[in-house]
């Protein structure tokens, strides 16, 4: 692994050199490297946990929120899951060289459109050490070099994980510099990375609006934002209410500190009286702080529901807090989502096929669910092995960013002495 005593420019230049070799590696070499990474993770559990414990202790000392502590914390199960995810990435079909289109022109010229790596991908992320391994595995499989820049709160964990992955990959034939980590300590470093347009082909930030704003104001490198998730679950008039309660509970409670957790519940007025008292009670018993509109308060049945403010509808809580609103129609629910959603993941619970179809067509989001929790927006759940993040943009990549989203394409044009007249 390249060491952080070099400048950002030097590290990125090294990654660019490695990327040229990576792009030509056979799938068998990349898969062997990924297997080596998985084995190295399994053999280094104690080293990883020791480093992570120091990060977690330091984070608690400065009062970081429970949701961020959960993102930061590693245990044996999560490390095992990282290794399993690496093996799932290795088992995927190699995207490099995939034939996308082919045509033969009337003059005999053959044109093929094939998938190729982007080159060097920089991933900037906050307080989630597992991203170190997920991102490295996906970039390696897709033939890209990676420059990692984590947050200072996870510096020890990220450094250990990146070193383990780099050593293992290099032992299997991957060039030095293919996996590089920056120190993650200073804003100047982020600015310098964001302007490495000679060496870096794409930056993917995973973090809050502050990180997004910092990059947007400086980046000369193309950016795909793995953005925030202000996700909604809408319970339609034709919903199976037991199914709806289970979906809402899962979407909010199963892991509240992640971007695909629900932040707002919308309920059709026709079923509010039947649905809300039990649903709110279930959520409250699970520790969820509830903030509702006037229609919700009417059905709170003595439960601790506070009146929602205007800001609540636009807030990604990343915690056990849920905004709840009663709406008059499917159209009103769609309008609410259009006004306040972040374009990440939106769900409808309904037995009405026409309502489901209308929701699917009219809601503008990367992932739209019918009768399923928003928590499924995840590369592993989508069969991608892992993900670098979830894009809410519409150009190039949208939704989970996996190996294919880390590629571009080129046209290979073959002739036989062809000249244009």
**Per residue in 44-88, pLDDT tens?**
999 999 999 999 999 999 998 887 898 899 999 999 999 999 999
Q: What percent of the chain has pLDDT over 90?
A: 84
The better pLDDT of the pair 204, 65 is held by 204
Residue 115 contacts residue 409 (beta carbons within 8 Å): yes
pLDDT band at 258 (very low <50, low <70, confident <90, very high): confident
**Closest to 233 measured CA to CA, from 139, 336, 144, 134:** 336
- Mean local confidence (pLDDT), 197-221: 88
CATH H superfamily, domain 231-376: Aldehyde Dehydrogenase; Chain A, domain 2 (3.40.309.10)
What is the average per-residue pLDDT within 323-349?
Answer: 97
Q: What is the mean pLDDT of residues 13-17?
A: 97
CA distance 340 to 403: 30
Q: What is the pLDDT of residue 246?
A: 98
- pLDDT computed for residue 3 by the predictor: 45
How far is Cα 161 from Cα 151, in angstroms, rounded to an integer? 14
The Cβ of residue 88 has, within 10 Å, a number of other Cβ atoms equal to 18
254 pLDDT more than 70: yes
Q: Where in the chain is the domain with CATH 3.40.309.10?
A: 231-376
* 295 pLDDT more than 50: yes
- Which band of pLDDT confidence, cut at 50, 70 and 90, is reported for residue 213? confident
The predicted pLDDT at position 2 comes to 47
Q: Above 80 in pLDDT, residue 420? A: yes
Rounded Cα–Cα distance for residues 102 and 83 (Å)? 37
Nearest to 212 by CA among 197, 202, 225: 225
Please determine, looking at this structure, whether the domain spanning 8-226+388-414 carries the CATH number 3.40.605.10.
Answer: yes
- Convert the pLDDT of each residue in 358-400 to its tens digit: 999 999 999 999 999 999 999 889 988 888 889 988 888 999 9
Residue 225, helix vs strand vs coil = coil
Q: Is the pLDDT assigned to residue 4 strictly greater than 70? A: no
Residue entry with tokens 């590629």: 407
Sign of the four-CA dihedral 171, 174, 176, 180: negative
Query: Is pLDDT at 242 greater than 50 in this prediction?
Result: yes
Residue-level pLDDT at 185: 63
DSSP letters spanning 153-217: GGHHHHHHHHHHHHHHHHHTTPPTTSEEE-----HHHHHHHHT-TTT--EEEEES-HHHHHHHHT
Among 20-29, 332-341, 387-396, which stretch is predicted with the lowest mean pLDDT?
A: 387-396
Which segments of the chain belong to CATH 3.40.605.10? Answer: 8-226+388-414
The DSSP letter of residue 375 is G
Among 93-102, 328-337, 378-387, whose mean pLDDT is lowest?
378-387
Instruction: Read off the pLDDT of residues 162-174 as tens digits, 9 standing for 90 and up.
Output: 999 999 999 999 9
What is the pTM assigned to this prediction?
A: 0.87
Which strands sit side by side in the sheet containing 262-268, from one edge to the other? 305-307, 289-292, 321-327, 262-268, 231-235, 345-349, 367-370
CA 150/CA 135 separation, integer angstroms: 11
* E strands present in 294-406: 305-307, 321-327, 345-349, 367-370, 390-391, 399-400
pLDDT level of residue 199 (50, 70, 90 thresholds): very high
- Which candidate, 348, 339, 358, places its Cα nearest to that of 251? 348
- Per-residue pLDDT at 116: 98
Q: Which two tokens stand for residue 93?
A: 């079909």
C-beta of residue 345 within 8 angstroms of C-beta of residue 365: yes
**Residue of 7, 282, 56 lying closest to 155 (CA atoms):** 56
Mean per-residue pLDDT for 93-103?
97
Mean pLDDT of 168-188: 90
Which residues have a Cβ under 8 Å from the Cβ of 252 and sit 6 or more positions away? Answer: 261, 262, 265, 283, 286, 288, 320, 322
pLDDT per residue as tens digits for the range 122-166:
999 988 899 999 999 999 999 999 999 998 999 999 999 999 999
The pLDDT score that the predictor gives to residue 1 is 52
For the cut 50, the answer to whether the pLDDT of residue 215 exceeds it is yes
- pLDDT at position 71 is 86
Is pLDDT at 186 greater than 90 in this prediction? Answer: no
The two structure tokens encoding residue 400: 């989970």
pLDDT, residue 321, reads 97
């Amino acid at each position: 692994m390249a060491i952080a005593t070099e400048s950002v420019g030097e590290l990125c230049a090294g990654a660019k050199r490695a990327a040229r070799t990576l792009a030509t590696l056979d799938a068998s070499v990349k898969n062997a490297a990924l297997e080596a990474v998985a084995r190295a993770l399994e053999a280094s559990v104690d080293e990883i946990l020791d480093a992570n414990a120091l990060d977690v202790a330091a984070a608690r000392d400065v009062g970081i929120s429970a949701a961020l502590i959960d993102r930061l914390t590693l245990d044996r199960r999560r490390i095992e899951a990282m290794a399993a995810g690496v093996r799932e990435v290795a088992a995927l079909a190699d995207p490099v060289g995939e034939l996308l289109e082919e045509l033969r022109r009337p003059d005999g010229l053959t044109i093929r459109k094939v998938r190729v790596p982007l080159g060097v991908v920089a991933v900037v992320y906050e307080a989630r050490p597992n991203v170190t391994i997920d991102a490295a595995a996906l970039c390696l499989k897709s033939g890209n070099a990676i420059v990692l820049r984590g947050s200072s709160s996870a510096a020890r964990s990220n450094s250990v994980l990146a070193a383990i992955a780099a050593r293992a990959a290099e032992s299997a034939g991957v060039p030095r510099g293919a996996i590089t980590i920056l120190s993650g300590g200073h804003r100047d470093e982020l600015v310098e990375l964001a302007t490495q347009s000679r060496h870096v082909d794409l930056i993917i930030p995973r973090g809050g609006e502050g990180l997004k704003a910092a990059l947007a104001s400086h980046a000369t490198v193309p950016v795909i934002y793995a953005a925030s998730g202000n996700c909604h679950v809408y319970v339609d008039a034709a919903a199976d209410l037991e199914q709806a309660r289970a979906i809402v509970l899962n979407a909010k409670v199963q892991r509240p500190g992640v971007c695909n957790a629900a932040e707002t519940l919308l309920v059709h007025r026709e079923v509010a009286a039947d649905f809300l008292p039990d649903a709110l009670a279930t959520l409250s018993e699970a520790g969820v702080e509830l903030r509702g509109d006037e229609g919700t308060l009417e059905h709170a049945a003595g439960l601790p529901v506070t009146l929602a403010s205007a800001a609540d509808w636009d807030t990604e809580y990343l915690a056990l807090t849920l905004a709840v609103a009663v709406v008059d129609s499917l159209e009103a629910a769609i309008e609410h989502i259009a006004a306040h959603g972040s374009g990440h993941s939106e769900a409808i619970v309904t037995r009405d096929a026409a309502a489901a179809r209308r929701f699917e067509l009219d809601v503008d989001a990367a992932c739209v669910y019918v009768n399923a929790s928003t928590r499924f927006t995840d590369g592993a759940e989508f069969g991608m092995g892992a993900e670098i993040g979830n894009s809410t943009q519409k150009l190039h990549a949208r939704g989970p960013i996996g190996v294919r989203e880390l590629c571009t394409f080129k046209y290979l044009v073959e002739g036989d002495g062809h000249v244009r007249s």
